Structure 1
Amino acid sequence: MSSKWGGLTALLAGFFVLLLDTTIVAVASPRIQADLGGDVAALFWVTAGYLLAFSVPLLVAGRLGDLFDPKRVYLFGMGAFAVSSALCGLAPSIEWLIAFRILQGLAAAAMSPQPLTLIRRLFAEDERGRAFGIWGSVAAAATLLGPIVGGLLTASLDWRWIFLVNVPLCGIAVVMGIRLIPGSRGGAARFDLLGAMLSTAGLSLLVWALLSWRALSLPAAAIAVALLVGFWFRERGQGIDALAPLQLYRSSGYLSASLAMASLGMTVLAMALPTMFYLQEQRGFGPIEAAVALAPDAVVAILLSPSAGRWVDRVGGRRPAILGMSLLAVSLLLMGLVVVLQLNPWWITAGAALLGAANAMAWSPLSAIAMASVDPDAAGGASGLFNTVRQVGAVAGVALTGAILTGLESRPALAFGVVFGFILLVAVGGVAAAVRLPVRSREVEPV
């Protein structure tokens, strides 16, 4: 195995553990509540606390990769993820579990931006599509296996094992990373502490406001916007020391890829909540039946992602991205019609299969074009910014969907119609962004 493919294998091992843990928790929630107590709000923050801690530090983590070597930051995050997973598995109360899940989210944030930087370093421009395609296939596999593994561990052992199983898996990933991932000396720029404080405070308040839409979150959102505007002004004058290379948005490739990826992240997560609610509450599906109805999403993505990546290497990213984002819009339209018109609910599986094809076609070209727009010395910051936009978009999609469903709870037909209308509009915006991508990623001048 060549060093670049060995390095990719090591990165995929850690990424698989991270995503597996993201989806493994939901199925064990009733057992967690029965064992540790707590109300529904506390159970919500077991997931929301992780999401908050994962979303906020991505900018800082990406920049730390530029300064101290993405390999080191990645391995540090993996080790911290193992420790925090063990603490989650030993949590004596729901409050401690929430605290340890926040630590787990911080560790995941340290890991998350580094692989894009490392893949850019490992692979030539005409091989990155294939690498990102394999990346997408592993992501889909982890998403599919998470609830299954979580259900098996919870039923056969105990809910605590959904966290404890991460410890040996992380250990294997760390050993592989030390041996197979190439290192670097890091950069010479200084760390922008004030920018880090402004971005962290602003993103924390923004994500908290999105997740806590039931509470008085408008003042928090206003303060968040003010802090992020201050962060923008701060970054404009920092040059090579900027925490987030906002000048990347001068590149049409990076800007369009970021907008399309935000659309993809927002719609895919926003779709899941109303669809699962509709199938179980309105059509009488059990949890297993509902999961089976949406399973073609992950299955198709696993099968198509490697081929989609090779297509990107041959023809560039624009055509695959346009096809992927168009399939996203069609899949959401189909699922929306099934829900709103009360069609046979098993037609949802066709929409889910199209959604899997959309994920396979869109993920690789958008990632490849975004990172082709970046000077190597700013790759970590660019990856952190790219991941932050995607993650905040996903949080916003889930929050707005929940707000619509709750606000129109007495009129479910109207609620489902508004939700799917909203996410379809976002998907169409993603198609428009993909159309503006450069024809070939090598035509992009790195910023």
Structure 2
Amino acid sequence: MTGKRGGLAALLAGFFVLLLDTTIVAVASPAIQRELKPGVAGLFWVTAGYLLAFSVPLLVFGRLGDRFDPKRVYLCGMAGFGVASVLCSLAPSTGWLIAFRVLQGLAAAAMAPQPLTLIRRLFAEDERGRALGIWGSVAAAGTLLGPVAGGVLTAALDWRWIFWVNVPLCAVALVLGLLLIPGSPGRATPFDVVGAVTSTAGLSLLVWALLTWQPLSLVAAVVAVVLLAAFHRRERGHGEEALAPLALFRSRDYTRASLAMAALGATVLAMALPTMLYVQDVRGFGALEGAAVMAPDALVAMVLSPRAGRWADRVGPRRPAVLGLVLLTASLLMVGLVVVLHLAPWWVAAGAAVLGAANSFAWAPLSATALAAVEPALAGAASGVFNTVRQVGAVAGVAVTGAILAGLGARPTAAFGVVFGLLTLTAAAGTVAAARLPRTPARVSQWRSRRWPRCPVGLRRRPAARAGPWS
């Protein structure tokens, strides 16, 4: 298997490991608590530490991919992820486990922005929807298998095996990547160290404030805003060499795709916690039954994602993306009505199936639009910003959901109603952004951009090269 299919297979192998590990840890949390005896805060930071380290440096690693070649940065992240997994499996205490999970998060952040850049290199513009659809199908498989594998490994062996299982998977993905992913010499451009420090510190404080909601969180949020404002001011003077080039957002397509993806990230992850609390704590389902209720999400996404990607290639991004965001709004409304009106809980499974269809139709066109809106020289920065917007949106969604549930804990029906109402409004806002995406397929958009070359320098679309996997 060579060429672009082999390169995509290598990228999918690494992405599958990442998704598997993200979902596998939650199932083992009770076993970790029994052995290491962390407090509630310690157990929280086993997951939150990974999420913090994963979310914050995406901008930096996206730009490093432009400078040193996304293949190299991706493979270094994969190797680091395997080493961190070994360390997690050997952790003697909660503190060490949290520290090693942070290392895992950093390695995952190095990997995450690179695949979009590499997919742009491998596939012509009118083929990327199909590739990203396959990507979505593998993401759904990892999400579905993670809890199952976590439960089996924890029950049959030990919770430490949820990390040991990553090692052979990382080794296979690393070998495939070395052999099948095309490389490039990178670009010898200056790296904005001050911007990297400012953005990392600002995003760290912001994500920490969103995750913790402690008395100091407000102070941290204010300092984060000041640092990010300073970062924005600095970036204005660096043009295309900036860590997060502001020219990216001169592209309306890129901005709208990013806003719609932020809405998708904020709602999909945030709905999981209240849904599981409802079916288990209120309706008395066991953990296995709770997982079965949400399983249609991943199953539908596995089936529909490749087809949705091919449809986006044919008709352009607007219709599939709008359909996906409309289905997302409908799924949140369905599950919210079940929770508030105490309908039969198995109706949640129907909502989960609609959610799987929503993910299938929205993911590929939004990602493909963001890829098509920028020049190759800015692909790494664009991917880093796009992933950061999605991830910070997800953190914000989870944080706000947790705060509402905690604040209205004495009135669970009201809490669930407020949560799902807010998430439904967020999804509806994403639908508005998606409705402004390009209506036409990629090749028509390219023709228009050649006739009216008013797009800012660095964002002008070029005809897709069809010569081979280096296009």
TM over 0.5: yes
Match of 1:193?
A: 193
How many Å separate the matches in 2 of 1:240 and 1:297? 39
- Corresponding position of 2:464: none
Deviation at 1:331, TM superposition (A): 0.6
Question: Would the aligned equivalents of 2:74 and 2:111 in 1 still touch at CA under 8 Å?
Answer: yes
CA contact (8 A) 2:315 2:441 kept: no
Task: Report the AA paired with residue 343 of structure 1.
Answer: L
Residue 248 of structure 1: how far off its partner (Å): 1.1
RMSD (CA atoms): 0.9
Q: 1:309 to 1:109 in 2, by over 3 A?
A: same
Q: Distance in 2 between matches of 1:415 and 1:193?
A: 44
Q: Does 1:205 align with 2:205?
A: yes
Q: Report deviation, 1:341.
A: 0.6
- Establish whether residue 224 from structure 1 lines up as the match of residue 224 from structure 2: yes
- CA change 1:215–1:155 in 2 (3 A) is farther
Query: Aligned-pair distance for 1:214?
Result: 3.6
Tell me which residue corresponds to 2:466. none
Name the CA distance, whole Å, in 2 between partners of 1:20 and 1:391: 17
Q: 1:127 to 1:417 in 2, by over 3 A?
A: same
- Map of 2:469 onto structure 1: none
Secondary structure of 1:343's partner? coil
CA deviations on 1:353-388 (whole Å, 9 max, x unpaired) are: 000000000000000001100110010010000000
Offset, 1:139: 0.4
CA distances 1:43-83 after superposition (whole Å, capped 9, x unpaired):
00000000000000000000000000000000000000000
Deviations 1:130-152 (A, max 9, x none): 00000000001000000000001
Shift of 1:441: 5.6
Q: For 1:223 and 1:23, locate their aligned partners in 2 and report how far apart those are by CA, in whole Å.
A: 32
Task: Note closer, same or farther for the CA distance 1:381–1:441 as it changes in structure 2 (3 Å cut).
Answer: farther
Say yes or no: does 1:419 pair with 2:428: no
1:6-405 map, 5 Å: 6-405=6-405
Instruction: List per-residue Cα deviations over 1:368-409 (Å, max 9, x = no partner).
Output: 001100110010010000000000000000000000000001
Please give the alpha-carbon distance, in whole angstroms, between the structure 1 residues aligned to 2:131 and 2:420. 33
Amino-acid identity (%): 71
Secondary structure of 1:191's partner? Answer: coil
SS of the residue aligned with 1:115? helix
Once residues 441 and 403 of structure 1 are traced to their aligned partners in structure 2, the CA distance between those partners, rounded to angstroms, is 42
Runs ≥4 residues deviating over 6 A: none
Please give the secondary structure, in 2, of the residue aligned with 1:244. Answer: coil
Aligned equivalents of 2:63, 2:19: Cα separation in 1: 22
Q: Confirm or deny: 8 A CA contact 1:372 1:441 kept in the other structure.
A: no
Letter in 1 for 2:401: T
Q: Secondary structure at the match of 1:38?
A: coil
Cα offset, 1:266, TM superposition: 0.3
Q: Distance in 1 between matches of 2:133 and 2:213?
A: 36
Question: TM-score when scaled to structure 2?
Answer: 0.94
Letter in 2 for 1:261: M
> Contact 1:339–1:416 (CA<8 Å) still a contact in 2?
yes
- Distance, in Å, in 2 between the alignment partners of 1:200 and 1:274 is 30
- Aligned-residue offset at 1:271: 0.5
Measured after TM superposition, the shift of residue 187 of structure 1 is 1.0
Residue-pair matches, total: 447
Contact 2:239–2:247 at 8 Å: present in 1 too? no
Aligned to 2:463: none
Aligned partner letter, 2:51: L
What is the rounded CA distance, in whole Å, between the counterparts of 1:300 and 1:170 in structure 2? 27
Counterpart-to-counterpart distance in 1, 2:406 and 2:154: 30
Contact 2:16 / 2:138 at 8 angstroms: preserved in 1? Answer: yes
What is the letter of the counterpart of residue 261 of structure 2?
M
Q: Are the aligned partners of 1:368 and 1:441 in contact in 2 as well (CA < 8 Å)?
A: no
Preserved contact between residue 126 and residue 441 of structure 2 (Cα < 8 Å): no
Gaps in structure 2 of 5+ consecutive residues: 450-458, 461-471
